Chains A and B, each alone.
Chain A
Amino acid sequence: MKEGVWEDVWIPSACSICYNQCGILVHRVNGVVVKIEGNPESPLGLGRLCPKGLSGIMMLYDPHRLNVPLKRTNPEKGIGVDPGWVEISWDEALEIITGKLKKVREEDPRKLIMTGCIPSMWPLTFAMATFMPAFGSSNVFFSDGHQCGNAEHLLAGTLHGALTTNPDLEHCDYLIMFGCHCGTAAYYAFTTMAQRMADARARGMKLVVVDPMMNAAGEKADEWLPIRPGTDGALALAMLNVLLNETGIYDREYLREHTNGPYLIGPDGHYVRSGENGKPLVWDESRGAAGTCEEVESHQNAIEGAYTVGGVECRPAFQLLKDHVQNYTPEWAEKITTIPAQVTRRIAREFGEAASVGSTITIDGVQLPSRPASLVYFKGSHGHNHAWLTSLAIELLCEVVGASNVPGGLMGASPVCYGHPETELPRWVPKAGPDGLLTPGIWIGATEPGYSVKPYPAVEPQAPQSYNLMDLLPTALSSHLAVLTMPRGEEFKIPYKPEVLLNYGANSLMSIGNPETTADALRELFVISFNLWLDETTDFADIVLPDTSYLERLDPSPNLHIHHFPVGMGDWGWQIRQPVVEPIGQRRHFCEVLMDLSERLGMLDAHHALINHYYGLQGEHTLKPDEKYSWEEIGDHIYKYYFGPGHGLDWFKKNGVIKWPKNVKEAFWKPFIEARVPIYFEWMKEFGEKVDSIVKENALPWPEEGDFQALPDWKPCAALESEDEEYDMQAVYYRVAWHSFSMTYQNPWLAEISEKMDPYSYFISVNTTTAKEKGIESGDQIWVESKDAGKVRGLAVLVEGIHPQVVGIANNGGHWSPNLPIAKGKGVFFEALMPLDLKKTDPVTITMDCDARVKIYKDASGEKWQDTAWSST
């Protein structure tokens, strides 16, 4: 007899297929998930989802998912080497793990290393910010090397008080997008930003896209500027020169009041300071004398000119910037970027004019500066050596016209929050740090430093203690480098050897760079891996544990408080991620297992203390040291602390998201927060000198590039430095809206898009003219061979919308694991083209250089390309 309907419900939760964690409603009928839609109540997505979010059902029910813990029986580890898995019980698995971890914790807890995947951002951060410090190790690294925005994060932190940035599309009239897909295929708050981007474009906002390849962003651009990869900084410098020295378009009032533009800089490159209190001096135009910011009215600060103070010749920082960019003409830039000088000049002027310096707008009764010109930049532009200098050059375009955290400009994501009206929590506000410069009020979900230090004031560099080298370079806000350093501890003078790797679902072999290098790092470690599937990296695991997917688990703060939120006006919101079905098989939530491990290791008290610290839990809401809490009880503590006794876990399970309106002073905080931002990074030079001296003292193999500069320059990335004519092209990767990182390749709905519909993403895009010169036609099997790493094979697609010197490949393709049958043999393994090499790393922010110098040629072997889709030599 046919079953009737005994259940028909919609459950609010949060997605986790990329880092954006959008609000979802899950439709469950008779215990089965039948649909995932956007939650109209959530500020993240406003009821609309990207194809990835819609396709989560297939991830939940993928029959290839892991359901039981496994133990390795084959001691030999290698790519494609069968680990000889045998099924074990959870108890046995945890016994083995506890034994290993106990030993390591007694010897030196830093021998435990951790990594994880970015889409599961909240559990990853929970582990890195609470479990790892409780254990005693700060050895964490990110396995999204070529995707992470280190350089952007440093600028977002120092200029915007936030982890990330986004343009205020509701008021912007002119947007320049440098190497990213804001509102068109990816990027922060994508689902909401896509709606705002379409609204803005329909309203008449001009979109200029600077990108070597015409992808989703270029498609929507009013003007597409195909730039040579790695040269966006040169374009930005030339534009700065046009603004500052050719057209004179800059916001004097903003620079005087809100930046360190008026700070006087001496011949040594440092601030000229008051003899009395050590504060930086500015020049008072009315008195014709120097004074501190407290002594001189902002509107009388000189930002231009040359002065002598106490016998020292000095110039305001802004004057230095103005002089510094003078040689960077559009004609100079043309030779580097391949963008005609006249175009650079016109775009700079259009941008400057659109900024409407001096104009105001009234929002909710509050008069604010209006600067409807913005930019947005990410990996395409800064994913190269010299990422710091490039990002700084780009950011300064907005700073000089005052289009920073005011309507229409470039905004930090959620740096100011005065909290829910009932509790005034969560609450964070940036403030003036040393020398009056902005320091963020929150950093990676913590109001107090957790596993990561705040970007300003910079922490003193020290000789490496962690394999991520982030103590040598505290300016790096994340790092992938452990895969490079782990086998080379002695070279880096790290006083212990790593022993155990805790992997939370990262497929490091496929998501960083040359897989052989990563394999070398993993081979010697005891690897504990929490996974959804047996992927390529689990070939190196000793114990594999079946993880829950985002539809099977409870995460009380999916958005790390309120990170990656849409900027500008709108609602604040705090979501829940809750299980919409019971975990299938023996799958267990990573965080619950961590709590279990803490108890077994006898460190529950420390772990609870770290949870209290990370969440800022106070009073009755704190977790007691030795009491045992269920995961649900911990969630309840967090919710009630932030939103009061009426908004505990049960309330969130029912309602999904608590939201309240942003006020104008939160959204557009710049005029209301008394903290200046640096247009001249005075501290950077000294910081770099300290790094250099540590490098020299310890004879560390860290490249001395001299990039610790107060002002930006353009320097060629490794691919552009090469003069090898044989390798005549640059390979770059690009993102599409229907894949996030490597795991989405296993989703058959998403795979079908790339296989049957999209003409590009599983192919190697080559400019038609270039390809024909090389005798390559669409559909031909070709090799792309990297000068410095391996080579990859795939089918060519000839396109007009790509720079003639560039090969374009979508990220994270080319899986080979037989345990991922949907993903296997599809797409091209771009990452194998990238050497993991210090020379391919930004020396300030540990940003990975993501383009490769390559040659392409037809493959006449007659083999199926998937048989050998890549080779490391």
Chain B
Amino acid sequence: MARYGMVIDLKRCIGCYGCQIACKAENFTPPGITWALVLKNEQGSFPAVRRLSLPMLCMHCAEPACEKVCPSGATVKEEDGTVTVDYETCIGCRYCMVACPYGSRYFNDRELNYYGDQRTPYEEVGADPPEGWESKPRRARCTGRVEKCDLCSHRREQELEPACVANCMAKARYFGDLDDPYSEVSRLVREKGGFQLNPELGTDPSVYYLPV
């Protein structure tokens, strides 16, 4: 048993969207679908202003609101603490999208390519990976399903960190087991005042943030 999660250090994050593109490149997500993304806003008024970047992804909640409403049983909280969608089982009803307080789920409604009708060789591979490719990502390969971040399960199987963590230029993202009190993520949450987004909703996210 484990509870895989992530810690994102907002002091280190430079809001560059590298996580968004690292995720996209790794997981072949189509236009409009960004399993990882960054929200921006500003607070205060001139000249006492702060601008904030908030990287978002599936929070892999311990009490996932999405799982509770999933009628097909496609959304499951795994033994390792990650929340996954079985794309064979998903019926695309999108209840989970309504239930998720973090907007982390995407309905793949139709076949879309980044250059319109012209699918790039890269997108071809994503749509139809060669048989037996060990490290291929587990993205939904058909439309009409809901999809989201799975903390790069295919990379974890190869003992690699999720793509967004491995690439982060500011080294603002940490991946690990929140159930292990000695893990780096647990230590960071404890020592640096890690917080969850909207804890009052009771979903108990496994993504923690460190203050700016």
Chain A residues with a Cβ under 8 A of chain B: 2-6, 8, 29-30, 32-38, 45, 47-51, 54-55, 57-58, 61-64, 183-185, 190-191, 194-195, 197-199, 201-202, 214, 216, 218-220, 224, 226, 737-738, 748-750, 752-753, 756-760, 767-769, 799-804, 821-822
Contacts and interface: CB of A to CB of B under 8 A. Distances in A.
Given A36-B25, A55-B25, A185-B14, A748 B46 contact: no
Given A185-B14, A201-B12, A757-B17, 15 more contacts: A2-B128, A4-B132, A5-B132, A5-B134, A35-B26, A48-B169, A54-B22, A194-B170, A198-B171, A219-B51, A737-B17, A748-B115, A753-B17, A757-B37, A801-B49
B18 A58 contact: no
B15 interface: yes
B158 interface: no
Interface in B93-109: none
Contact of A220 (B14, B32, B44, B171): B14
B115 A214 contact: no
Interface in B112-157: 114-116, 118, 120-122, 124-126, 128, 130-135
Given A33-B122, A63-B118, A219-B15, A214 B40 contact: no
Nearest to B19: A51
29 contacts: A2-B128, A29-B130, A29-B133, A32-B122, A34-B122, A47-B166, A50-B169, A51-B21, A57-B122, A58-B122, A185-B14, A195-B169, A195-B170, A202-B9, A214-B42, A219-B15, A219-B50, A224-B47, A737-B15, A738-B21, A748-B115, A749-B114, A753-B21, A757-B34, A759-B40, A768-B45, A768-B46, A804-B46, A822-B115
Contacts of B197: none
Indicate the member of B21, B37, B169 with the most A CB atoms within 10 Å: B169
Nearest to B192: A202
State the main secondary structure of chain A at its contact with B. mixed
A54 B49 contact: no
Closest 10 CB pairs of A and B: A61-B120, A737-B16, A198-B170, A198-B12, A194-B169, A63-B118, A748-B114, A51-B21, A219-B51, A54-B21
A61 B25 CA distance: 13
Contacts of B47: 224, 226
B125 A30 contact: yes
A34 to B, nearest CB: 6
Contacts of A821: 116
A769 B131 CA distance: 59
Contacts of B22: 49, 54
B186 to A, nearest CB: 19
Contacts of B14: 183-185, 194, 197-198, 216, 219-220, 737
Nearest to B167: A48
Contact of B121 (A61, A218, A802, A822): A61
Given A5-B130, A61-B121, A198-B170, A218 B51 contact: yes
A800 B49 contact: yes
A34 B169 contact: no
Contacts of A752: 31-32, 34
Interface in B46-100: 46-47, 49-53
Contact of B44 (A37, A48, A800, A803): A800
Nearest to A52: B21
B18 A51 contact: yes
Contacts of A55: 21, 25
A39 to B, nearest CB: 12
B97 to A, nearest CB: 17
Nearest to B44: A800
Contacts of A220: 14
Contacts, number: 178
B11 interface: yes
Nearest to B22: A54
A3 B130 contact: yes
A29 B128 CA distance: 12
Contact of B40 (A4, A202, A758, A769): A758
B169 A54 contact: no
Interface size class, chain B? 35 or more
A51 B11 CA distance: 19
Contacts of B133: 5, 8, 29
Given A194-B16, A226-B47, A738-B16, A2 B170 contact: no
B162 to A, nearest CB: 13
B46 A769 contact: yes
B18 A214 contact: no
A428 to B, nearest CB: 29
Contacts of B118: 63
B18 A737 contact: yes
Contact of B130 (A30, A61, A738, A802): A30
Given A4-B130, A198-B12, A61 B34 contact: no
Contacts of A48: 18, 166-169, 171
A190 B18 CA distance: 13
B133 to A, nearest CB: 5
Given A2-B130, A48-B168, A32 B124 contact: yes
Indicate the member of B18, B53, B128, B168 with the most A CB atoms within 10 Å: B18
A64 B178 CA distance: 46
A64 B121 CA distance: 14
B198 to A, nearest CB: 20
Interface in B160-212: 166-172
A462 B199 CA distance: 71
Nearest to A183: B14
B173 to A, nearest CB: 11
A804 to B, nearest CB: 7
Nearest to B169: A194
Nearest to A217: B14
Contacts of B170: 194-195, 197-198
Contacts of B12: 198, 201-202
A34 B115 CA distance: 16
Contacts of A51: 16-18, 20-21
A644 B42 CA distance: 55
Indicate the member of A34, A738, A758, A768 with the most B CB atoms within 10 Å: A34
A29 B121 CA distance: 11
A164 to B, nearest CB: 19
B167 A756 contact: no
A847 B182 CA distance: 55
